[in-house]
Structure 1
């Protein structure tokens, strides 16, 4: 029994040390900089809030995305305190859509990868389409409220939120299937709006077109380079696909002033 107790203590110490090492590699704090590697979630929010007000000047991040509710709260702090975001690795999904646009004088280092997955800001534009087609409104739904906050985030950063429409078209056709929203809208037919699940990687002119400015911006020069950078992600997501912008974006003739006719829709 005594030997068992010693073994138990040793195991507990090993686990504690391993957990400490994991946390230290996940985030660390310096005088004015937070280094963070992991999901965009309430843990990141907690790390940011640990800094005394106005002391945090820079967040060095490596993240494949996360949750939009905490991302929006994090973005508000970043924007209010004019915190710089330095991407050192990945900045995908919620990191790219919410965290990155909130920052000031951002830097995307060499061999990093920015990619857009879910497009929270697009629901403000989709509302008029849904209302016209189904005579229903999504304005009282959380997804619309988060979308509106995202649009405001971009406007406050001087970025044209029409970017979300360009991202939508860049990812490919939108699929009409609607299962998740239908019950909330009391629709007789199951209809939902789904996007291709690809990671979309804009080019430099794309960011410039929508007034999204960076202090330094590295982007992969080719599909081959992007695929190599994304290779570690495929261990957990073997079906991951990348779509790279290969030319300047041009709005279709039917899009103007936020009104979408959505010939871009297709049946699932």
Structure 2
């Protein structure tokens, strides 16, 4: 019992230290009239006090080993995302984004980035919604903020957020996975299973790519590489209607040559190695059988087209 009391005393003292550090930071911001910084600190109710210590103590987190020259990740590889928090502080001048890309999480990220305090966004995301992904990608395209892929960047993350960023860095085993755009899906399905979102998103996607300088072919190339064969039906995802399309692969990862062809920004690191990526995808599939990560990696066959497909045989 005595040991428990001592541990509790140390935890209480440590918590008090975090509170004093946070209060000192807010007081310092007030004196220098950094009102937007104050607002972010006080309104980020889900950012832990230990995370705020990173703002007070530059260099408190050691950069990860093995990164390219001039690029240091503020967190070691494999650092878990904070439980229950999509947006958090990862280190001095670095914001971290983990999880789904939707209106709420993008609002949180942009609100934090608009303080001007952060010049790096660390992202680990399986994707999300087109409109939210385009909004975050468009925001990054207008800012001097580097995007650091920290593990996985898929779907709306890779096809909108990542392509919108001016500069991108990747860990050596990062997975950058792409699939369909709504434009390509509509060509596959024709008038079947359409929704207001599926009718509106193609113009949003095409306009965004034109705006940031991504070739129009990126609307079609990723889905074509998946070898779609038939339409299996509809599925409800977070209140939205999605489609189940039978394909040979579930995601396409471009190689470095093709990514540099279509990406208008600057790649700050080497591109992940093919064998390393495919090994990691296989490990993820084995560990999480419900997660479908059949990955095709390489330079795409640009002669492949996206055409209307039949319904799957349900007999």
- Please state which band the TM-score falls in when normalised by the shorter chain: 0.5 to 0.7
Structure-to-structure mapping, 1:34-73, within 5 angstroms: 34-41=95-102, 42-52=104-114, 54-73=116-135
Query: Could you say which residue in structure 1 is the equivalent of 2:162?
Result: 100
- Do the aligned residues in 2 keep the contact of 1:109 with 1:216 (CA within 8 Å)? no
Question: 2: distance between equivalents of 1:161 and 1:251?
Answer: 14
Residue segments in structure 2 that go unaligned for 5+ positions in a row: 1-7, 16-45, 49-81, 236-242
Structure-to-structure mapping, 1:84-99, within 5 angstroms: 84-99=146-161
Cα distance, 1:218–1:39 mapped onto 2, change above 3 Å: farther
- Do the aligned residues in 2 keep the contact of 1:58 with 1:85 (CA within 8 Å)? yes
For residue 200 of structure 2, the aligned residue among 106, 120, 145 is 145
For residue 219 of structure 2, the aligned residue among 141, 144, 164 is 164
Q: Shift in Å at residue 80 of structure 1? A: 2.8
Question: 1: distance between equivalents of 2:263 and 2:108?
Answer: 31
TM-score by length of 1: 0.67
Question: 2: distance between equivalents of 1:169 and 1:217?
Answer: 28
For residue 172 of structure 2, the aligned residue among 106, 110, 119 is 110
Cα distance, 1:108–1:23 mapped onto 2, change above 3 Å: same
- Secondary structure of the residue that 1:40 maps to in structure 2? coil
For residue 81 of structure 1, the aligned residue among 129, 140, 143 is 143
Q: Shift in Å at residue 54 of structure 1? A: 4.8
Q: Shift in Å at residue 157 of structure 1? A: 1.8
Structure-to-structure mapping, 1:238-249, within 5 angstroms: 238=290, 240-249=292-301
For residue 251 of structure 2, the aligned residue among 199, 222, 235 is 199
Greater relative contact order (CA < 8 Å, ≥ 6 in sequence)? 1
Q: Shift in Å at residue 115 of structure 1? A: 0.6
- Secondary structure of the residue that 2:159 maps to in structure 1? helix
- Do the aligned residues in 2 keep the contact of 1:62 with 1:90 (CA within 8 Å)? yes
- Do the aligned residues in 2 keep the contact of 1:173 with 1:266 (CA within 8 Å)? no
Q: Shift in Å at residue 98 of structure 1? A: 1.7
Question: 2: distance between equivalents of 1:219 and 1:76?
Answer: 23
Q: CA RMSD in A?
A: 3.8
Identify which range, 242-251 or 107-116, moves more after superposition.
Answer: 242-251
- Secondary structure of the residue that 2:252 maps to in structure 1? strand
- Secondary structure of the residue that 2:220 maps to in structure 1? helix
Cα distance, 1:106–1:195 mapped onto 2, change above 3 Å: farther
Identify which range, 107-116 or 38-47, moves more after superposition.
Answer: 38-47
Residues 29-65 of structure 1: CA deviation (Å, up to 9, x unaligned): 6564312222223224313213445554321111122
Cα distance, 1:144–1:57 mapped onto 2, change above 3 Å: farther
Query: Could you say which residue in structure 1 is the equivalent of 2:94?
Result: 33
- Do the aligned residues in 2 keep the contact of 1:122 with 1:165 (CA within 8 Å)? yes
Residues 134-169 of structure 1: CA deviation (Å, up to 9, x unaligned): 6x9x7x832232222122222222110212311111
TM-score by length of 2: 0.58
For residue 260 of structure 2, the aligned residue among 208, 233, 257 is 208
